[in-house]
Structure 1
Amino acid sequence: MNARLLPYFLILPVTLFLCVFFIYPFVLVAQQAFSSDAGFSLDHFRDVVGYWKFPVTLKNTLLLAALVLPVQLALSLLMATMVTKMKKGRDLVLYVWTIPLGISDLAAGLIWLAIFDQTGFLNSMMSALGIIERPIGLLTYQHPGILLVAIALAEIWRATAIMLVILVAGIGLIPKEYYEAAEVFGASPWQRFLKVTLPLLRPSLQTALVLRVILAFEVFAVVAALGGTLFPVLMGQTYDYQFSLNNSGAAAAMALIILVISIAFTLLILRILRVPKGARI
């Protein structure tokens, strides 16, 4: 085989897979979203955006992402730095911290439901300590703040490990000579983190944040397990359109709206964390 054609031959299976299972379904979804009985139409988008629940679902999704992402970024940076500095037990600690990666979204939601439910661990603990006289319904419309915190905690616990794994790999690629040179010139550990680790970690931060932002706008199962209909989000409304209202056109329109929002935030992250030419390791 011609050596120039070998790379194209090697990527052919992946290309076919993407075309069959991603591009083709996306084209079908786009057709549903932009078509009606009269042909090309934006009626589905008008119906979705004009529905009274759309602003609420959009606000809740953005609020949850704004609450969760900064905490996950700070935690993953702290945990990754701690792991890379450990000399003994590093693999064990990393394994324990990444256990949530093996748990499904719904299972993670049910685990935290067992904590915040009226008959759950938190109520039992507060009763045993004498803080409350009777169990409190924490995940109700009467306590929207607690409901938001519960969902945020479940998401932070479940998905921080995704960013952690990427950042640990990124820190491992930074040559030790940079740290040694900074130490020679008297840089403190905090200065080494700010002047060496963060700048050279930009490519990994890009990947971690882009992946996490996309997943943040697709959050569904955790919210459904903990909040049900009390905390509607974009993906939950998409599910309702498809399976409760049997409106596949509106569901397709919602899916494309989520895609556009995810792309917009992805471009913003890539712009903010732009890596200068020649700065990659």
Structure 2
Amino acid sequence: MRESRALPYLLIAPSVIFLVGLFLIPLAQTAVLAFQENGGWGLGNVRRMADDLNFHDALANTFKVVLLAVPLQLALALGMTMMLRKVQRGRDLLVWVWSIPLGISDLAAGLVWLAILTDQGWLNSVLFQIGLISQPRAWLTYETPAALLAAIVVAEIWRATAIVFVILLAGVQLLPKEYEEAAEVFGATPWQRFTRITVPLLKPSIQTALILRTVLAFEMFAMALALGGRNFPVLVSEAFNAQYFSQDYGVAAAYAVLVMVISVAATLLYLVALRTPAEQRS
């Protein structure tokens, strides 16, 4: 009897040890480092972070990308999921093609888009050949901040929409068809069925997808580095610069804690705004 009671705890023990050893302990050490100053406790690292020349730009750029990319990714993933429900032939092929970006690293995807958007890249070549530009345009410089932001947002949408799509697709496949069929019998339009039945039933999957995607978007680094470099600072890139170039480990830890606090706040916001009724959870 005792062995049977202990079995569940033994099964989850490796995961708990992994979580504590590789996540909770480093997280606690980073938080301690962020608030240590000259052997004591203080906000010196936080103040130096806030006084950093690129801090406000990094904070603004990070939020711009998140607020632009994540809603568009959700809308695209919902559209792709709904479209896939109507496909009869080639469905598995479409899922495979749309999921390809999941197998591409952030840096590799950034370098691909860099090759497209450089002065001599594919985009300028096509625009020049069809006569829309007379000479190559610079899209990724500090003189074109809107174009640079748009490029990073588009690249992020291309790279990470697949994550949201896969989660929503799994959720859609679990939805009971009886509700939509009953609504169709009673004369509900496709849009009414989508907004009043499909989306509410899909809310747990939407919540999960938004939490995961938003947290990962706040941790964006390689894509911004590949396309913008120092012209487009983000929070994680500033933490990297503080750690490896300035050798200021306290400021780097403060940046890490800030990203964690923002991510936790966004998660709590989603949990409250998209909370699921008890009857739906059961």
Residue 128 (structure 2) aligns with: 127
Counterpart secondary structure, 2:143: coil
Aligned residues: 281
Matched with 1:172 is 173
After TM superposition, the structure 1 stretch with the greater mean CA deviation from structure 2, 121-130 or 1-10, is 1-10
- Structure 2 gaps of 5+ residues are none
Per-residue displacement from partner, 1:225-281 (whole Å, max 9, x unpaired)?
111111111011000000110111110111000000111111111111111111136
Kindly indicate whether residue 245 of structure 2 is the aligned counterpart of residue 244 of structure 1: yes
Between 179-188 and 147-156, the greater mean CA deviation after superposition: 179-188
TM-score, scaled to structure 2: 0.97
Where in structure 2 are the equivalents of 1:1-281 lying within 5 Å? 2-280=3-281
Measure, in 2, the Cα distance between the counterparts of 1:37 and 1:135.
52
Task: Give the counterpart letter for 1:202 in structure 2.
Answer: K
Deviation at 1:73, TM superposition (A): 0.8
Name which of structure 1's ranges 190-199 and 23-32 shifts more when overlaid on structure 2: 23-32
Q: CA deviation at 1:184?
A: 1.1
Which digits, 9 at most, give the CA deviation of each residue in 1:34-69, with x for residues without a partner? 212231222111111222321111111111111111
CA distance in 1, matches of 2:53, 2:267: 27
Q: Percent identity?
A: 51
TM superposition score normalised by structure 1:
0.97
1:2 Cα deviation from its structure 2 partner: 2.5
Deviations 1:111-155 (A, max 9, x none): 111111000001111111122222121211221111111100000
Deviation per CA, 1:66-104, whole angstroms, max 9, x where unpaired? Answer: 111111010000001111222211110010001000000
2-structure distance, mates of 1:51, 1:228: 17
Is the Cα–Cα contact under 8 Å of residues 105 and 222 in structure 1 kept in the other structure?
yes
- Aligned-partner residue type, residue 216 of structure 1: A
**Matched residue type, 2:273:** I
8 Å CA contact retained: 1:84, 1:168: no
Q: CA deviation at 1:3?
A: 2.0
Moved more, 69-78 or 271-280: 271-280
Q: Deviations over 1:144-186 (max 9, x none)?
A: 1111111000000000000000000001110111111111111
How far off its partner does 1:7 sit?
A: 1.2
Unaligned segments of structure 1, at least 5 residues:
none
Tell me how large the CA RMSD over aligned residues is: 1.1
The amino acid across from 2:98 in the alignment is W
